[in-house]
Amino acid sequence: MFDTNELVLNMGPQHPSTHGVLRVVLRLDGEKVVDADVVIGYLHRGIEKLSENRNWTQIILLTDRMDYVAAATNNVGYCETVEKLMAIEVPRRARYVRTILCELQRIASHCLWVGTHAMDIGAMTVFLYAFRERELILDLFEEFCGARLTYNSMRIGGLPLDLPPGWDKKVLQFCDIMESKVTEYEELLTHNRIWRERTKGIGLISGADAVALGLSGPPLRGSGVPRDVRKDEPYAAYDEMQFDVPVGTAGDTYDRYLVRMEEFRQSIRIIRQATEGIPEGPIVGKVPRLIKPAAGETYHAIESPKGELGYFIVSDGKSTNPYRFRVRPPSFCNLQGLRPLIKGHLIADVVALIGSLDVVLGEVDR
């Protein structure tokens, strides 16, 4: 009746559930996915090449647009890399503010993740709730730097603006609201039988395999590997913060979900500590008027909400533009895990898995 040849199904670049312009070509045997070919590049804008024609400060604008869901994190990573190359010291106040902004971004990114992941699996209400909280964060950012999505909120050596008065009180208020809302999301999902059946055992990967694939962030920590750049190689003000890194056990979609839900709470904890302990002082360090690093290269990584975000820059010492600007995006490396993880699962699990890896195509394609 049915031919037992494999069916090729195209989840095209325009698709409601692929979180951007991602194309997955599935080879199916009945309902089971035999193989998956991930085609990327639909959002390639040439950011790395464009950077070679921009000076070091202008590149901050471009970095916003890679992981557009968590733009401030990109900014921080880039600025810290240049500061590392030029050995610029960032004042303590600036480092604290950077930490607060990074953690607010982590919460905002995870809000978007939980909303879209839940909606793909059918729980549409969580999407609206998560975006309601994300709006609060975007309002905070708008008050700080004037933009809601692409902030351009860092400068090499510190920040362009100091915090507006009363901003830290609003941040603390937000933390209180957010804690109760995270409990709300968990009530809707964590112990829900349908949610567990849709996410437990999907996309299982062991810790060793995850390391071999180059995963980072929650996909790596969900498999039991306790690697977090904030703990292992602290940057900004993380060495002065007290927080835990949630680590999963089984390495399936449910564990990755639990890891990110706990990261919500840890981020709130960090924000509270940083906001309450923020020191007075200058907001930007001693930076030369013209930023022209000496010849050399460096690599620096930070923990973005998606995973380990790394920047490799090469300066030739002669011009005000970088010689080479290379990004190690976490979504790109995590997306490599889609193909081995999806084998053997059903079509309906593909969207659950893409949501679990939390990819942003802006980062993957640059």
Partner 1 sequence: MVDLFVIPLLKIVIVLNATLVAVSYLVLLERKVIAWAQSRLGPMRVGPYGILQPIADAVKLMIKEDITPARADKWVFTAAPIISMVPALIVYAVIPFGPVVNLFGRHVSLYIADINVGLLYIVSVASVGVYGIILAGYASNSKFPLLASLRASAQLISYEVAVTLTLVSVILMSGSLSMVSIVRAQESSHLWYAFAQPLAFVIFIIGSLAETNRAPFDMPEAEQELTGGFHTEYSGMRFALFFLAEYANMIVVSSVATTLFLGGWLRPFPNVALLGFLDIVPSWTWFLIKSFFFLYVFIWIRATLPRYRYDQLMRIGWKVLIPMAIANLLVTGILKVVFM
238 binds partner 1 (CB under 8 A): no
Per-residue binder mask for partner 1 (CB under 8 A), 155-194, x = binder: ---------------------------------xx--x-x
- Under rule CB under 8 A, residue 8 binds partner 1: no
Min dist CB 183 to partner 1, Å, is 16
Using rule CB under 8 A, residue 123 touches partner 1: yes
Residue from 19, 95, 155, 198 binding partner 1 (CB under 8 A): 198
Q: Where are the beta strands (DSSP E) in the chain?
A: 7-11, 23-29, 32-39, 296-304, 307-315, 324-328
The residue among 23, 134, 48, 117 whose CA lies nearest residue 329 is: 48
Q: Is 132 in the site for partner 1 (CB under 8 A)?
A: yes
The Cα–Cα gap between 322 and 88 comes to: 17
Q: Is the dihedral of CA 292, 293, 299, 305 positive or negative?
A: negative
Please identify which residue in 6, 13, 15, 269 interacts with partner 1, judged by CB under 8 A. Answer: 15
Question: How far apart (Å, rounded) are the C-alpha atoms in residues 126 and 114?
Answer: 7
Distance of CA 101 to the CA centre of its chain: 13
User: Considering the rule CB under 8 A, would residue 9 count as an interface residue with partner 1?
Assistant: yes
- Per-residue contact track with partner 1, 28 to 57, x per CB under 8 A? ---x--------------------------
Query: CB of residue 195 vs partner 1: minimum separation in angstroms?
Result: 5
Contact criterion met (CB below 8 Å) for 315 and 323: yes
Q: Which is nearer to partner 1, 82 or 258 (CB)?
A: 258
Give CA 281 to chain center in angstroms: 29
Residue 252 or 349 with smaller CB distance to partner 1: 349
Residues 37 and 55: their CA atoms lie apart, in Å, by 38
For partner 1, which is the closer residue by CB, 139 or 239?
139
Establish if 347 lies at the interface with partner 1 (CB under 8 A): yes
Toward partner 1, which CB reaches closer, 53 or 125? 125
Q: How far is the CB of 34 from partner 1 (least distance, A)?
A: 16
Per-position b or e across 160-186, b if 16+ CB within 10 A of its CB:
eeebeeebbeebeebbeebeebbeebb
- According to DSSP, the residues that pair with 311 across neighbouring strands are 300, 327
Cβ of residue 38: shortest distance to partner 1, in angstroms? 16
Do 97 and 159 meet the contact criterion of CB atoms below 8 Å apart?
Answer: yes
Does position 195 interact with partner 1 (CB under 8 A)? The reply is yes
Task: Pick the closest to residue 270 from 101, 93, 114, 131 (CA basis).
Answer: 101
Q: Which one of 8-16, 66-74, 83-91, 305-313 is the stretch in contact with partner 1 (CB under 8 A)?
A: 8-16
- Cβ nearer to partner 1, comparing 241 with 350: 350
* CA proximity to 71, closest of 159, 150, 140, 164: 150
Q: How far is the CB of 122 from partner 1 (least distance, A)?
A: 3
Binding status of residue 118 toward partner 1 by CB under 8 A: yes
Strand order in the sheet with 23-29: 7-11, 23-29, 32-39
Interacting residues with partner 1 (CB under 8 A): 9, 11, 15-17, 31, 118, 121-125, 127-129, 132, 188-189, 192, 194-195, 197-198, 346-349
